[in-house]
Amino acid sequence: MPTRALPLANKIFEGFLTYVETFNTYTRLAPLYFAQRNWQATQLNHRQRLRLYKDLLFQLSKVFQEILGTDSDNRKIWTLIRNEYQQLIQDRPDVELAETFFNSLFRKAFPNNPLDEELMFVMEGYNSCEIRENSELLHTYPAAMGLELIIRQILEDYDFGAPFMEKERDIEFLVEGVKKVILTRYKVEVGTKTQLLKPVFYRNKAAYLIGRTYVGNKWMPFIIPFMHGPKGVYVDTLIFDPNLMSHLFSFTRSYFMVEVAVPSQIIGFLSSVIPHKKIHELYNAIGFNKHGKTLFYRDFLYHLNKSSDEFVVAPGIKGMVMTVFALPSLNIVFKLIKDHFEPPKNMTRQEVREKYKLVSLHDRVGRMADTHEFEYFKIPLNRVSPELMNELRNTTNSLLQITENHLIIKHLYTERKMVPLNIFLETCTTEEGKRAVEDYGRAILQLAQANIFPGDMMTKNFGLTRQKRVIFYDYDEIEFLVDMNFREKPKPENYEQIYASEPWYEIHKNDVFPEDFRRWMIGRADLKPHFLEYHKNLFDPAYWNSLKQRIQNGELIHAFPYPEEIRFRSGEQV
């Protein structure tokens, strides 16, 4: 038996090395495509990197199932494989990713196994990677250089492979930005210095430098976004606001392309810059979402041990497709696809899963929540409220397994908990409501610009984040915008047409009549007129068709993750 274990451990290790090498190959293409302004290749490259992990695991798990055969669930063999694999990876600088890769393969190859603390790296690697500052990872600029020279040196140190549009103007913008935010509040002293991560963070049409300045006995973090427009590369803005910085790394954003040799060191620096982000969120943000999932689960186990509240049915209007539950003390919801859907829903469970897969591979433009998908998820039975157990049995019974001590759910999604927009609008003030419905409309239009038509746009399908940003989280009816037909309603020409009980004109499957949105979007009398006036484009078929045409022409419409008013060159096209 031991002689079988080492070759199999080697196969997993070789698979992991292939993953890392290929992941880095895709990542290294990001700066090249930025330099070329090749936005279609940028999108394709992002999707290919997202698919990489599952594609490799699918092939590797088939190999394991063929080799092991009836021994696929032999715990003694898997214990030996795990021990051999641990020896192979123990000195690697990305050991935490290697542990997660093993976990993923084990879950695919070992049939119907819940998360197994004995055979997987569930808690062992929790502190295995030291998170520290590393000077080889950073450009450091002492204050003695002088502000303008520091800014000039920064622009020299980062080569974007294309000429600047107005380099001197960029320097002026940055100098003024630093003076306004830092030098009006803090005095430069002997120990004052500025540090920037050497790796550049790429996403969509933007490149970001992440840095911090030590001043006033503390670190002041900042982010500098760069764009590459038709006239060249330029600095778009300078961000000091911690909320905006946090939003750049939000669970509603696509993952960055950033080359990293030692992931934990990048995470350590990011954690110092955006301190309230959880470590698993930061791993997600730089593209290691599978390890982010591992860390999320560790956090979940830790939270279970220190809490005592029960899992309950999530508040809000119950969905027709998903059953949703939550642990009140945890900022997460758990979503299960129901066994049966009530009319008018006529899709299958697999079709719903495909919608979630579509979202996972698509640019979420800050408006769709990221999810983690779990199989055979284990919850202590004594923590499940009777009401929730009754709801699960009535709606998702086929997904449940019950043991002596645990409820095991065969398939679920986890997602950040948000306040449903419809609930928020029931009690908020008029001013709060106006801001929320403005952002609700912006969310729909920004999704449209990313080629996503939400389908069911009722407010119950949107939620508010901690920063009161409106996010879409119901994916079962989404479609690509380019597949929809946006039409004006034909005008009735006679009495029969005016008073017909059913539409007298032909309607095809993907026909959409935007003027109908006026009837059901926002019901509150003090908010509806403001919403209708603020978002006139929502009800105009011509506007929807203009977006559709731009996307069909191959345009990538960039969604800026910060307000237009803070851009140095407001309105500059990319």
- The Cβ of residue 436 has, within 10 Å, a number of other Cβ atoms equal to 23
Torsion of CA 314, 319, 324, 326, to 10 degrees: -20
Which residue bears the tokens 């689960």?
Answer: 297
Q: What 8-state DSSP symbol labels residue 204?
A: T
**Among residues 94, 370, 439, 476, which one is catalytic?**
370
Quote the CA–CA distance of 82 and 64 in Å, as a whole number: 14
Q: What are phi and psi of 311, to 5 degrees?
A: -70, 135
Contacts of 36 (CB under 8 A, 6+ apart): 161
Quote the CA–CA distance of 359 and 354 in Å, as a whole number: 9
Quote the CA–CA distance of 389 and 380 in Å, as a whole number: 12
Q: What are phi and psi of 443, to 5 degrees?
A: -60, -45
Active site residue 71: no
Q: Write out the DSSP string of 413-467.
A: EEEE--EEHHHHHHHS-HHHHHHHHHHHHHHHHHHHHTTEE-S---GGGEEE-TT
Which residue bears the tokens 């031991």?
Answer: 2
**Whats the size of the chain, residue-wise?**
574
Contacts of 246 (CB under 8 A, 6+ apart): 274, 276, 277, 467
Backbone torsion region of residue 412, taken as left when φ is above 0, otherwise alpha when ψ lies between -120 and 50, otherwise beta: beta
Contacts of 429 (CB under 8 A, 6+ apart): none
Longest dimension (CA), the chain: 85
How would you class 506 by CB atoms within 10 Å of its CB: exposed for 0-12, middle for 13-18, buried for 19 or more?
exposed
> Which tokens is 80 given?
């030996």
Quote the CA–CA distance of 19 and 25 in Å, as a whole number: 10
Quote the CA–CA distance of 450 and 558 in Å, as a whole number: 8
Going by their DSSP bridges, the two strands 485-486 and 511-512 should be labelled as parallel
> Which tokens is 414 given?
């986890």
Contacts of 487 (CB under 8 A, 6+ apart): 511, 512, 513, 541
Q: What are phi and psi of 210, to 5 degrees?
A: -110, 125
Residues identified as active-site: 370
